[in-house]
């Protein structure tokens, strides 16, 4: 078990090269935001944008279109019911499905998983994990899960008390996916790789929307940093920002973390 | 009569334990925000979120859904006309009904009061108080009222000039509820408990939406602090923040107070 | 001609008394915001709220309801087509009609002017002035106009080159209204009163929405300060804020001014 | 080839004269913001407003009306399907077409280009360039293109590797338009004029919506500064702001740049 520290961020977050354009920083497609849960998709997309993804698209319910655009004009809306969705799916570097998805979207999850190729990454968060636990559709894409403890139980069959490092690693090897097992200490497990742990998380961040925010950061990092450790760096930086903000705030809200991302990413490389 | 000071906040607002997650900080359901009054529900929900409630749901008119999501992506929208409302009602730790409710929502208030169990708390604010004064539906839930002087008159039958401490306490004993009697000096009365008073309120906060904000703070505090004094701490901290902001602002707006909550809660425990 | 300085603000803006509540600070009803011009009504209402009006209502097109609520949750939406509009009209202390009204709203203007009593104040801004110039409906209410030069020409028949102090005063005496004649130097003319002038205005504020913002400030000041000089104080403070912001900004936007109002009102009384 | 520095901004951005009003600072009409791309139009319009354009109108899809108004109340919505669009087209000093336009809007582009007179300027950005490359409708208006490398290829037929200074200048002479050729070093080419280059751009600004923001700044500058060098000054200042923000932020978002415009324009003239 490796305890992550600032080094992981230094390795992953590299100074941008001057001859680059937004196309070099990846396309993220967030799929979620069913009618009641638009905020979750907005938070995830915001975290992706503020992490530096080149382009961030959001496929969400039409009822949340106006709020998305008002809140985050940098993002682009996608109507999941039109052909533009398929096109965006094909062109995305990273698809994050789950934030605010709702449990009625099993068909959409299947469509996403089947539609992706081996060059793409798909991150399953929140309800997408619960849906996948019921019906594990195969996918060509690199697969990342970001479960909290209850979702990990559904996903792996491991009861919360039995989610030991060994059991988690064994499941990761079996399923062939990266798992970000969220908790007071978040573990990152990868097939054939030493497990990593982030220990500076703070309980001030225990509030609704935080998981969506972390998932969005992971998406943004994976899209732009072509490194196996992008996931680890995102998890570490998220906890680092939360810890810093908790020095002056009793509760650290997702929107507070999001606005700090560009500054803390810069602190890493300066 | 006990004059509240910073001590009440220190007793109630405790450092968060590290092995906790959002589920430990309670679920708040705000019911209100009829068509013209969406802002009231947004302010109440914002105060709940910024106070640190684990999850904040808002049942409001569909016309206010987009504004809620644009303004407060941390909150979750609930359609009061679907089954998800009943489910949210059952699962909430605290239901705050009233901010922007409108006087045509008597049926909804009855449904809420009847649907709650003894493990839940219901806060009646604004129009919900006026409606309850007309028809006092019984409820199993712990009951809190947050009337201003005119609403207290409707609620208790006590004319504004007759709302003495003794009369207020007598009414509280009769009705078996906590009453936060708002005014230049806000009193908190509980059955079988010494009355408390907050005296540092400032007239700078006399502006629309402030009651909604206070009610949202109370909801957020009750949801996460399992203490009989959570209500008192919320009322005290609200006045404290208003007083501090009034040192540089002629009028202290609800949104200004809300953004300070996480910082002032931290100041209490540091 | 009196040149206004900080003294006017000191006279008008008084420390709030502790035994007061929002009802003591007046009700403002903004009527405007037809479909394309929702922003104008939002700016006017924001200026009213940030000036400290007790309650601010906005009657605007339904298409602008969501934006109003997302942007300014402290305001309350009014549907001009329902009975609640009449009720709000009757209960308002100040009605500001014009920001974003559109020239197709002559009927609405007539309704407002006819519906008001002598205890109320009506402020005509923007398109409401142009409409009134065509058809001068009588009103019981105290009448204030806030024309820019072209609107003053339409209103008074005085060509821009002929809008001398004497001609303006003569028109004011005839029409029996207060006129805030906006320009590089804004003049405030009242029947039987020495004309006043604000000279610290800056060209940095010459941008769309600024007139709406000033009108909203006037509404907020008239609603809460029961003084004949409330109008003058609002005009002076608006120019004062613009001047201060122009020390660091090339263009001073309405939203920048609005957010400073509570601070600069406090500076006056401290 | 002239390398631009702060001097270009000093020449173009002049202190505002005191006897001026918003009419002196020009009318900008942004045409774009089809359903999925509302954010692009909002960013462009925001950049125009924050640059100091007197009035900024936005013709976009009705689905984006609420978000525009919530985000930028200083702007005015235009329905492209009504007569008000034609009127706005006629009265605009600068029409910026492209941000979020979508490739299905060829008819609208033709209408705009045909409807303008020699006193007006039209800026073609994004999809408008791609559409014009397919069908080059003639226009009386002064023409500005703001292509990135791929769009320049479509526009000029010059493959990305062949977009030399000489080839770009030759194309500019042929087409009779100003071209802002965006890239790590952005070139500004004009018929019969020495080519200019901005070299302080930073890769931190390589993110979605940045082109829309630059186009909006150019529109705002052209509308208010009646100088041939307004385009150059806008491009230089945009890069300057991005560079400054990149000293503390890993990614510089469009909204971060926009909010700095009034301050940096002031720095130029102070």
| A34 vs A28: CA distance, rounded Å | 18
Domain-located, residue C270:
no
CA atoms within 13 A on the CB side of D99: 36
Domain-located, residue C106:
yes
What average pLDDT does range C17-23 have in this prediction?
90
| CA angle in degrees (0–180, nearest 5) for A130-A133-A139 | 110
User: To the nearest 10°, the Cα dihedral for D70, D72, D76, D81?
Assistant: -60
Task: Determine the distance in angstroms separating the CA of B214 from the nearest CA of chain D, rounded to an integer.
Answer: 25
| D21 vs B198: CA distance, rounded Å | 50
Domain-located, residue C207:
yes
Say which residues have a Cβ less than 8 Å from residue C218's Cβ, sequence separation at least 6. C96, C123, C144, C146, C180, C230, C231, C234, C235
D65 neighbourhood in chain C, CB within 8 Å? 38, 63
**Could you tell me the pTM of the whole model?**
0.97
List beta partners, residue B189: B179
| A5 vs D219: CA distance, rounded Å | 46
Per-residue pLDDT, D201: 86
C98 touches chain D (CB under 8 A): no
SS3 (DSSP) at D125: coil
In a mutational test of the D interface, the residue from A16, A21, A38, A69 whose CB has the highest number of chain D CBs within 10 Å is A69
A75 neighbourhood in chain D, CB within 8 Å? 39, 208
Q: Which of B236-240, C7-11, C171-175, D224-228 has the lowest mean pLDDT?
A: D224-228
Whether the pLDDT of residue A226 is over 90: the answer is no
H helix or E strand, kind and range, residue B76: strand B76-78
What average pLDDT does range A110-118 have in this prediction?
97
Task: Determine the distance in angstroms separating the CA of C71 from the nearest CA of chain A, rounded to an integer.
Answer: 10
A254 touches chain B (CB under 8 A): yes
Q: Which of A30, A220, A23 is nearest to D207 (CA)?
A: A23
B66 neighbourhood in chain D, CB within 8 Å? 66
Say which residues have a Cβ less than 8 Å from residue C187's Cβ, sequence separation at least 6. C165, C168, C179, C180, C181, C195, C196, C197, C198
Phi-psi region of D14 (alpha: psi -120 to 50; beta: other; left: phi over 0): beta
Domain-located, residue A270:
no
CA A249 to chain centre: 24
Do residue A207 and residue B24 have CB atoms under 8 angstroms apart?
no
Closest chain A residue to D209, measured at CA: A74
Per-residue pLDDT, A256: 98
Option in C202, C210, C249 nearest D262 (CB) = C249
- Summarised one tens digit per residue, pLDDT across range C164-216 is 999 999 999 999 999 999 988 999 999 999 999 999 889 999 999 999 999 99
H helix or E strand, kind and range, residue C97: strand C94-97
| C119 vs A127: CA distance, rounded Å | 58
Task: Determine the distance in angstroms separating the CA of D237 from the nearest CA of chain A, rounded to an integer.
Answer: 18
Q: What are phi and psi of D194, to 5 degrees?
A: -65, 135
What average pLDDT does range C49-61 have in this prediction?
98
Domain-located, residue C181:
yes
Q: What are phi and psi of B55, to 5 degrees?
A: -140, 140
- For A203, B34, B147, B222, C87, the CA distances from B128, given in Å and listed in that order, are 34, 12, 10, 19, 21
Do residue D69 and residue C39 have CB atoms under 8 angstroms apart?
yes
D13 touches chain C (CB under 8 A): yes
D62 touches chain B (CB under 8 A): no
Q: How far apart are the first and last CA of chain C?
A: 28
Whether the pLDDT of residue B98 is over 90: the answer is yes
Whether the pLDDT of residue A19 is over 90: the answer is no
Q: Read out DSSP for C231-263?
A: HHHHHHHHHHHHHHHTTT-SS--HHHHHHHHHH
| D219 vs D214: CA distance, rounded Å | 9
Task: Determine the distance in angstroms separating the CA of B216 from the nearest CA of chain A, rounded to an integer.
Answer: 15
C203 touches chain D (CB under 8 A): yes
Per-residue pLDDT, A14: 95
D67 touches chain B (CB under 8 A): yes
Q: What are phi and psi of A215, to 5 degrees?
A: -60, -40
H helix or E strand, kind and range, residue B6: helix B6-12
| C173 vs C178: CA distance, rounded Å | 9
- Summarised one tens digit per residue, pLDDT across range B50-87 is 999 999 999 999 999 999 999 999 999 999 888 899 99
Confidence of residue B168 (pLDDT cuts 50, 70, 90): very high
Per-residue pLDDT, B270: 80
Closest chain A residue to C71, measured at CA: A70
The reply to whether ipTM tops 0.90 is yes
Sign of CA dihedral C154, C158, C164, C170: negative
Confidence of residue A200 (pLDDT cuts 50, 70, 90): confident
- Token digits for B180? 């936060």
H helix or E strand, kind and range, residue A187: strand A186-189
Q: Tell me, what CATH number does B110's domain have?
A: 3.40.1190.20
| D157 vs C230: CA distance, rounded Å | 64
B18 touches chain A (CB under 8 A): yes
Q: Exposure string (b/e) for A112-148, b if CB count within 10 Å is 16 or more?
A: bbebbeeebbbbbbbbbbbbbbeeeeebebbbbbbbb
User: To the nearest 10°, the Cα dihedral for D154, A72, D81, C129?
Assistant: -130
D210 neighbourhood in chain A, CB within 8 Å? 22
H helix or E strand, kind and range, residue B121: strand B121-124
| C9 vs C115: CA distance, rounded Å | 32
SS3 (DSSP) at D90: helix
C115 touches chain D (CB under 8 A): no
In B141-170, the residues whose Cβ lies within 8 Å of chain C are: 148-149
Q: Which of D86, D38, D97 is nearest to D62 (CA)?
A: D38
Do residue C74 and residue B43 have CB atoms under 8 angstroms apart?
yes
Task: Determine the distance in angstroms separating the CA of A39 from the nearest CA of chain B, rounded to an integer.
Answer: 4
Q: Which of A243, A241, A235 is nearest to A182 (CA)?
A: A235
Say which residues have a Cβ less than 8 Å from residue C92's Cβ, sequence separation at least 6. C27, C28, C29, C57, C120
Task: Determine the distance in angstroms separating the CA of A119 from the nearest CA of chain B, rounded to an integer.
Answer: 32
Q: What is the mean pLDDT of chain B?
A: 96
Domain-located, residue B248:
yes
Residue with tokens 């493990």: B119
In a mutational test of the A interface, the residue from C70, C72, C73 whose CB has the highest number of chain A CBs within 10 Å is C70
Q: Which domain holds residue D248?
A: 2-265
Do residue C37 and residue D75 have CB atoms under 8 angstroms apart?
no
Task: Report the number of distinct structural domains present in chain C.
Answer: 1
A234 neighbourhood in chain D, CB within 8 Å? none
Per-residue pLDDT, B200: 85
Option in A25, A79, A263 nearest D206 (CB) = A25
Per-residue pLDDT, B184: 84
Phi-psi region of B222 (alpha: psi -120 to 50; beta: other; left: phi over 0): alpha
Domain-located, residue B25:
yes
Helices C254-269 + C210-224 axis angle, to 10 = 30
Low-confidence ranges of chain D (pLDDT < 70): none
- Summarised one tens digit per residue, pLDDT across range D51-100 is 999 999 999 999 999 999 999 999 999 998 888 999 999 999 999 999 99
| C70 vs C67: CA distance, rounded Å | 5
CA B22 to chain centre: 20
Closest chain D residue to A84, measured at CA: D36
C75 touches chain D (CB under 8 A): no
**H helices within chain D, ranges in order?**
6-12, 38-51, 65-71, 83-91, 106-115, 127-134, 149-156, 165-175, 210-224, 230-245, 254-269
What percentage of chain A carries pLDDT values higher than 70? Answer: 100
C67 neighbourhood in chain A, CB within 8 Å? 70
Closest chain A residue to D206, measured at CA: A22
Per-residue pLDDT, A197: 97
> Is there a contact between D143 and D113 (Cβ–Cβ < 8 Å)?
no
Do residue A67 and residue C70 have CB atoms under 8 angstroms apart?
yes
Q: Which of B242, B237, B244, B232 is nearest to B265 (CA)?
A: B237
Task: Determine the distance in angstroms separating the CA of C70 from the nearest CA of chain B, rounded to an integer.
Answer: 4
Do residue A20 and residue D184 have CB atoms under 8 angstroms apart?
yes
Do residue C251 and residue D265 have CB atoms under 8 angstroms apart?
yes
Is B110 exposed, middle or buried (CB count within 10 Å of its CB: 0-12, 13-18, 19+)?
middle
> Is there a contact between B237 and B9 (Cβ–Cβ < 8 Å)?
yes
- Token digits for A206? 């225990």
| D56 vs D44: CA distance, rounded Å | 10
Task: Determine the distance in angstroms separating the CA of C106 from the nearest CA of chain B, rounded to an integer.
Answer: 24
Parallel/antiparallel/unpaired status of strands A27-31 and A94-97: parallel
Residue with tokens 């709203």: C105
C21 neighbourhood in chain B, CB within 8 Å? 148-149, 183-184, 206
Closest chain C residue to D267, measured at CA: C248
> Is there a contact between D78 and D57 (Cβ–Cβ < 8 Å)?
yes
- Summarised one tens digit per residue, pLDDT across range B176-220 is 999 999 988 999 999 999 999 999 889 999 999 999 999 999 999
Option in B25, B67, B84 nearest A36 (CB) = B84
Confidence of residue C7 (pLDDT cuts 50, 70, 90): very high
| B123 vs B125: CA distance, rounded Å | 6
D82 touches chain C (CB under 8 A): no
B73 touches chain A (CB under 8 A): yes
C112 touches chain D (CB under 8 A): no
Say which residues have a Cβ less than 8 Å from residue C95's Cβ, sequence separation at least 6. C28, C29, C31, C89, C112, C116, C120, C121, C122, C123, C141
**H helices within chain A, ranges in order?**
6-12, 38-51, 65-71, 83-91, 106-115, 127-134, 149-156, 165-175, 210-224, 230-245, 254-269
| CA angle in degrees (0–180, nearest 5) for B154-B160-B162 | 110
| D32 vs D218: CA distance, rounded Å | 16
Task: Determine the distance in angstroms separating the CA of A73 from the nearest CA of chain C, rounded to an integer.
Answer: 15
Q: Which of D87, B223, B18 is nearest to A184 (CA)?
A: B18
């Amino acid at each position: 078990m490796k305890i992550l520290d600032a080094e992981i961020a230094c390795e992953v977050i590299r100074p941008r090269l001057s001859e680059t354009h937004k196309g070099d920083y990846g396309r993220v497609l967030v799929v979620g935001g069913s009618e009641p849960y638009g905020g979750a998709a907005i938070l995830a997309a915001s975290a992706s944008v503020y992490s530096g993804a080149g382009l961030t698209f959001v496929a969400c319910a039409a009822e949340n279109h106006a709020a998305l655009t008002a809140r985050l004009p940098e993002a682009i809306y996608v109507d999941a019911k039109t052909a533009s969705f398929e096109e965006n799916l094909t062109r995305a570097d990273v698809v994050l499905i789950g934030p605010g998805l709702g449990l009625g979207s099993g068909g959409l999850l299947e469509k996403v998983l089947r539609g992706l190729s081996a060059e793409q990454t798909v991150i399953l968060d929140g309800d997408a994990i619960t849906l996948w636990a019921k019906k594990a559709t195969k996918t060509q894409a690199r697969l990342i899960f970001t479960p909290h403890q209850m979702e990990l139980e559904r996903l792996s069959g491991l009861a919360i008390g039995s989610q030991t490092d060994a059991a988690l690693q064994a499941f990761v090897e079996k399923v062939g996916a990266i798992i970000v097992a969220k908790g007071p200490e978040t573990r990152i497990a990868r097939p054939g790789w030493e497990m990593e742990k982030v220990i500076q998380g703070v309980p001030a961040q225990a509030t609704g929307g935080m998981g969506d925010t972390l998932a969005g950061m992971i998406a943004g990092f994976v899209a732009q940093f072509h490194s196996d450790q992008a996931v680890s760096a995102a998890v570490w930086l998220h906890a680092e920002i939360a810890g810093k903000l908790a020095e002056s705030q009793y509760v650290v809200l997702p929107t507070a973390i999001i606005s700090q991302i560009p500054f803390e990413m810069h602190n890493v490389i300066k």
